[in-house]
Amino acid sequence: MKASRRNFIKQGSATLLSAMAIPALSNDLLPTPLPISNGIIAANDENYWQLVRQQFPLQKEWAYLNNGTMGPSPYPVIEAVKKGMNDCDVLGNYGGWESTSAKLGKFVGANEEEIALTHNVTDGINIVCWGLPLKKGDEVIMTTHEHVGNAFPWLNRQMLHGIVIKVFTPASTAAETLDRIKALYTKKTRVVAVPHIPCTQGQILPAKEICTWAKEKGIFAFIDGAHGPGMLQLDLHDMGCDAYASCCHKWMLGPKGTGFLYVRKDFQNTLQTYFVGGGSDNGKWNMATVPISTGAYADTAHRYYGGTQNIGLYRGVDAAIDFIESIGMDNIHKRIMYLSKYAQDQLLSFGDRVELITPTEERSRGGVNGFRIKGFDFSKFYAKCAEAKVRIRMVQENSLNSVRVSTHIYNNTGEVDRLMEVVKKEIASLK
């Protein structure tokens, strides 16, 4: 079966919609808020993680193992969005979203003035891709595992402006991956624009080493960080990237349609802004003095976005960060790693019947595993999982024709077992 990306999104949604009756949220259903954790929570403390699960309106009958596409929000986030929107309408207040930059900055190891609010990862990627001073023949190093959101903006500039894209395939170790990047370097290389964690198989790329190397070579380092925040403890200053685009609607479990772009302070006068409006300026220009000078931009990453934002969504982002911090990012990271290792070990236990395409190297694996069942069509396997009420994702990027399973704090080993039952059954059907 030849299924386009658009088709499989449609198919996936249709399967789900036909199979689900969507319950409305009611205040009576809200669980007791999670107690604030003051220390270490064991990654296998199922009692505690069950309490966490109760904070999510996920349906019991479905094993939702697709956080890599969309992170469901817990009740406190949903409530904060509702309250934020309601307050705005009741009080008639305007603004207030700017404070989320400070909260996000602290969360990812950056300063408030380095964070631009966006609506998704794609916004951030486009700001960077269009804003870089690139000319015909300039080379950009990327992977063969890009999400369309990172691939297409650069391909667009290739078509429109003649930049040259050079690709490598991530290797099974961080060291080899770095070597493959270095091997692509020429005198014309201007940018390395790679995912922190590719959407295809969830491998963690050695972002800090990549950025350090880029600095040595005098080239721009851009990281597509769709899957970083909420899965990994981030310190973007330490990573050393020039820019990092992400969203709050995956591993951060925030409202859908929220994101941010980190732009290193000293890089802001290099990365040109094209999409400007209220807030992108410093308030000191005057129409009588047109044309403006570059000095009229805001002296912060606010220069990269303008106009009215949905305050409810940003109150939801604040609540998502509070929720994460009430559990502890370190505890969350360990639980994610525990569940993904559990899934990885089970997949490996099928021997050569299952082809794991995510590295087993400790530093290169995260909350996502990609795999194929030998001799079994990936889209049929996806459909079999949906029949069993297990939600995963098909991966057609780079013609990988595989599937991807991602596990977050609302999951448990029993849900991973449900997936493995489907794997077992389909392997048996091949005999």
Ligand X SMILES: Cc1ncc(COP(=O)(O)O)c(C=O)c1O
Interface contacts to ligand X, rule CB under 6 A: 69, 120-122, 147, 149-150, 195, 198-199, 224, 226, 247, 259
Q: What is the dihedral of CA 154, 158, 159, 162, to 10 degrees?
A: 150
Nearer to ligand X, 68 or 328 (CB): 68
Q: Considering the complex, what minimum distance in angstroms separates the CB of residue 147 from ligand X? A: 3
Measured on CA atoms in the order 224, 226, 231, 237, is the torsion positive or negative?
positive
Q: Are 222 and 191 in contact (CB under 8 A)?
A: yes
Q: Considering the complex, what minimum distance in angstroms separates the CB of residue 290 from ligand X? A: 34
Nearer to ligand X, 53 or 147 (CB): 147
Q: Considering the complex, what minimum distance in angstroms separates the CB of residue 121 from ligand X? A: 3
Q: Considering the complex, what minimum distance in angstroms separates the CB of residue 349 from ligand X? A: 28
Q: Considering the complex, what minimum distance in angstroms separates the CB of residue 60 from ligand X? A: 26
Q: Considering the complex, what minimum distance in angstroms separates the CB of residue 353 from ligand X? A: 28
Q: Name the one residue in this structure whose structure tokens are 């190397």.
A: 213
**Which residues on adjacent β-strands are paired with residue 220?**
191
Give the separation between CA 14 and CA 65, rounded to whole angstroms.
17
Nearer to ligand X, 121 or 317 (CB): 121
Helix/strand/coil for 48 = helix
**Which residues on adjacent β-strands are paired with residue 281?**
297
Instruction: Specify burial of residue 209 (Cβ count, 10 A radius: 0-12, 13-18, 19+).
Output: middle
Nearer to ligand X, 41 or 247 (CB): 247
Nearer to ligand X, 124 or 328 (CB): 124
User: Which of 204, 308, 255 minimizes the C-alpha distance to 77?
Assistant: 255
CA separation (Å) from 345 to 293, 349, 354? 58, 6, 11
Give the separation between CA 424 and CA 419, rounded to whole angstroms.
9
Q: Considering the complex, what minimum distance in angstroms separates the CB of residue 225 from ligand X? A: 8
Nearer to ligand X, 147 or 157 (CB): 147
Q: Considering the complex, what minimum distance in angstroms separates the CB of residue 43 from ligand X? A: 24
Nearer to ligand X, 149 or 240 (CB): 149
Q: What is the DSSP letter of 109?
A: T
Q: For residue 326, what is the enclosing H or E element?
A: helix 311-327
- Which pair of structure tokens corresponds to residue 341? 């290792």
Strands (E), 203-292: 220-224, 243-247, 259-263
Strands (E), 102-213: 115-118, 139-143, 164-168, 189-195
Q: Name the one residue in this structure whose structure tokens are 């099974």.
A: 172
Nearer to ligand X, 261 or 422 (CB): 261
Q: Considering the complex, what minimum distance in angstroms separates the CB of residue 187 from ligand X? A: 29
Nearer to ligand X, 150 or 396 (CB): 150
